[in-house]
Amino acid sequence: MANEKFNVVGKNIAEKATMIWNVADMLRGPFKPHEYGLVILPMTVVKRFHDCLLPTHDAVLEQYEKVKNFAVRDGFLTKASGYQFYNISKYTFASLLTDPEHIEENFRDYLSGFSDNVQDVLSKFDFKSIIERLVESNTLYLVIKEFNSQKGYLGPDKISTVDCGYIFEDLVRRFSESFGEEAGAHFTSRDIIYLMTDLLLNDADLSKGGNVTVYDMAMGTSQMLSCMEERIHELNKDIDVTCFGQEFNPSTFAIAKADMMIRGGDPNNMKFGDTLSDDQFGGYQFQYIISNPPFGIDWKREEKKVKDEAKKGELGRFAPGLPKISDGQQLFVLNGLSKLAKNGRMAIIQNGSPLFSGDAGSGPSEIRRYILENDWLDCIIQLSTDMFMNTGISTYIWVLNKNKSAERAGKVQLIDASHCGEQRRKPIGFKRYDVTDLCRELIITSYGEFVNDKIYGDKEGVYCQSKIFDNDAFGYRKITVERPELDEKGHPVLKKGKPVADVTKRDTENVPLVEDIDEYFEREVLPFAPDSWIDKKKTKIGYEIPLTRYFYEYQVPENVEDIMERLSGIEADIQSSLQALFGGDGQ
């Protein structure tokens, strides 16, 4: 059964975002299509601030007159506004429109009336230069008028904070698509976020209240954080949820900080900067981490800083190893693990590369080894393709846990949920499938029951499958097999009484960790190369997780006679069509 509530909410969000985006109609000419977002995104944020503050506007102005000469006045004004921000300008959008001749001067006065934390948001949009261009093209008045219309209303009495966040997200997606951003810079829709939150909170004891910390290292517009807070409060409304996030894109950071202020959280917990090269949360520990970092994107820009930190060893974030320079997603995993509390859990989205890329001893393999040998990998869920707006590739949710239950200790659960998605009526970009309520229930039940080789759902329709493995099932020893160099008579060449290895005949074998190397060598190698030996100094330990192989089901090929019969039928149909078209025998 489809998630009707989600579809309705998603439809309303899309409709509101479309109406706002239609402001672009008046920007054609002065702005190029890929620049529309430079106007629409900051104006949407400003209008959201405006509509939130409108009911207390007079109270703030009255309070400002009382405290304007005080050295410290922010506390008085935020209390009067009811938010973590305020505006002391006399103007509103409605009053701005009553004086078209002075629209620029008055609008700048309105913007300068915002508190310092809003000024930081606006600076990330570089909004001052955008206003200049709107003035030059005589469109500033028209844009303000459009946003002040009924369809542009963004007050909290009509648009919840969560829904407004997703309107922001949809607008950012449209803006990004106009730039043709790489597939790795994707967006996470609410259905997947809710699956991640439910995985993290499965069997969590939140009945005692207290404080919970949540961190997103690539927060975008911070929707993962807001949905995590929403889910926790559904379980216990008395728990204090403190959210922390870092983001490198100025526009999305500005939206995230704005969203945090509107939700009543601490905007100082929203940090701007590159997580890999400019970590803003050194020394922090978090109970929950939820993130969807970019994948398939290189880390050349951060290379020097990352390598410098890797040299710190255990004092840094990247001690286990570094991935390929072409793909930095495993660096985000290591960053998260370095900040995960002793009882913490992390859900992070990855593509297929971290499962198997890199040979034994390589950076990617060493990172997998670090995670598995510390027994932090809890579960990996393979999602259906076409789950994201900006990419159709296969994706995986890694669940990492630093405090596994006794039942899960030393084991990893793999869940194939590639058949656990329902097709949308209308695609959004590349996103053609949703994780509906039914899909999420099947996956969460599978995760919670922790049963090996069990199918949940209808094998002919929507279903997922669970399998359980010991940690060392993913490990192997890469052995180097040597064979002797032979002289002209076919005898081994000796040096100090030992045969000299012929490098042209050197080979390698991957021996599972659960198997004895010597027994494997005697069974698999010596019968075919009796003069060979293992150079044990070159043996390396590697780890890979070939998830697809574990769930592969052999399909019996079609019978040859049936194929020939089918081809004969096709040939006869073609012949009949040709005869009908040309007449005669079809030659």
What pLDDT sits at residue 177?
64
Q: How far is CA 346 from CA 141, 252, 295, 443, 580, in A?
A: 47, 22, 17, 17, 65
Higher per-residue pLDDT: 60 or 4: 60
Neighbours of 252 (CB within 10 A): 23
Q: Are residues 239 and 368 in the same domain?
A: yes
Q: pTM of this prediction? A: 0.86
Q: Which of 432, 456, 473 is the last residue of a domain?
A: 473
CATH number, domain at 392? 3.40.50.150
- Domain residues for the domain of 103 are 4-173
Contacts for 209 with CB less than 8 Å, ≥ 6 apart: 236, 238, 239
pLDDT band at 585 (very low <50, low <70, confident <90, very high): low
Confidence of residue 183 (pLDDT cuts 50, 70, 90): very low
Q: Quick one: pLDDT at residue 167?
A: 84
**Could you tell me if 237 and 215 lie in one domain?**
yes
How many other CB atoms are there within 10 angstroms of residue 281's CB atom? 18
Which range is least confidently modeled, 75-84, 140-149, 255-264, 307-316? 255-264
Angle at CA 221, nearest 5°, toward 293 and 199?
55
The answer on 419 and 331 residing in a single domain is yes
User: For 86-141, how does the pLDDT look when each residue is reduced to its tens digit (9 = 90+)?
Assistant: 999 999 999 999 999 999 999 999 999 999 999 999 999 989 899 999 999 999 99
- Residue 225, domain member (yes or no): yes
| Overall average pLDDT of the 226-237 stretch | 92
Residue-by-residue DSSP string for 108-129: HHHHHTB-HHHHHHHHHHTHHH
pLDDT at position 6 over 60: no
In the chain, how many domains are there?
4
- Using the 3D structure, point to which of 173, 191, 219 is the last residue of a domain: 173
**Residue 552 belongs to a domain:** no
pLDDT above 70 for 340: yes
Q: What is the pLDDT of residue 182?
A: 47
Higher pLDDT, 294 or 308: 308
Clarify whether residues 450 and 538 are in a common domain: no
Q: Does residue 344 lie in a domain region?
A: yes
Structural tokens at position 149: 């219309």
Domain check: are 222 and 291 in the same one? yes
Beta-strand ranges (E) seen in 471-506 are 475-482, 494-495, 498-499
**Whether residues 569 and 503 fall in one domain:** no
Amino acid at 410: G
Per residue in 68-91, pLDDT (tens digit) is 999 889 999 999 999 999 999 999
Residue type, 256: A
Q: What is the pLDDT of residue 1?
A: 36
Do 78 and 187 have their domain in common?
Answer: no
In terms of domains, do 304 and 339 share one?
yes
* Residue 555 belongs to a domain: no
Same domain, 422 and 390: yes
**Over 80: is that where the pLDDT of 558 sits?**
no
Average pLDDT over residues 226-234: 92
Distance CA 486, CA 15 (A): 77
- The predicted pLDDT at position 359 comes to 95
**Where among 473, 508, 538 does a domain terminate?**
473
